[in-house]
A and B are shown apart, each in its own frame.
Chain A
Amino acid sequence: MGKPKALVDRETCLACGGCISVCLQDAVSMIASKASVNKEKCISCEICIKTCPVGAISWEGQ
Chain B
Amino acid sequence: MKYDTVIVGSGPAGSVTARFAAESGAKVLMIERRSEVGIPVLCGEGISKNVDNYKVLEGRRWIANNMDGARIFSPDGTKVTLAAEMAGNETGYVLYRDIFDQELARGAVRAGAELMLNTRAVNLIKENGKIKGVKAKHFDEEIEIRADVVVGADGVESKVGRWGGIKTTLKPKDLETCAQYTLTGIDVDRAYCDFYLGKKIAPGGYVWVFPKGNDFANVGIGILASLSTPGLATKLLDKFISSHPELKKGEPVRFLAGAVSVCEPYESVRDNLLLVGDAARQVDPITGGGLIASIEAGKIAGETIGKAVEKQKFDKDLLSIYEKAAEEAFYKKLKRNYMVKEIMLGFEDKTLNMLADSLKNVKFGEVSTLGLVKALMSKHPSLLVKLRPLIKAAKV
Contacts and interface: CB of A to CB of B under 8 A. Distances in A.
Interface in B243-299: 255-259, 261
A17 B155 CA distance: 8
A15 B175 contact: no
A44 B162 CA distance: 21
B255 A17 contact: no
Contacts of A56: 231
Contact of B230 (A17, A22, A33, A57): A57
Interface size class of B (residues with CB under 8 A): 35 or more
Interface in B30-71: 33-34, 40, 42
A55 B169 contact: no
A54 B261 contact: no
A54 B230 CA distance: 7
Nearest to A31: B120
A6 B162 CA distance: 21
Given A20-B157, A21-B157, A53 B259 contact: yes
Contacts of A22: 169-172, 175, 225
B347 to A, nearest CB: 23
B207 to A, nearest CB: 13
Q: Which of B34, B172, B228, B230 has the most CB of A within 10 A?
A: B230
Contact of A53 (B34, B120, B178): B178
A55 B229 CA distance: 8
Nearest to B233: A53
Contacts of B232: 53
Interface in A39-62: 47, 49-58
Interface in A2-24: 14-18, 20-24
Contact of B228 (A21, A26, A51): A51
Contacts, number: 96
Contacts of A38: none
Interface residues of A, number: 25
A47 B232 CA distance: 14
Nearest to B222: A53
Contacts of B184: none
B255 to A, nearest CB: 7
B74 interface: no
A53 B177 contact: yes
Contacts of B172: 22, 47, 50-51
B175 A51 contact: yes
Nearest to A17: B157
B182 interface: no
Given A17-B157, A21-B168, A55 B225 contact: no
Given A16-B178, A16-B258, A53-B259, 17 more contacts: A16-B259, A18-B157, A18-B257, A21-B157, A22-B170, A26-B162, A49-B230, A50-B225, A50-B228, A50-B229, A51-B228, A53-B179, A53-B223, A53-B228, A53-B234, A54-B233, A56-B231
24 contacts: A14-B40, A14-B257, A16-B177, A16-B178, A16-B256, A17-B155, A17-B156, A17-B157, A18-B157, A18-B259, A21-B158, A22-B169, A22-B170, A24-B169, A26-B169, A30-B33, A50-B172, A51-B228, A51-B259, A52-B230, A52-B231, A53-B223, A54-B231, A58-B230
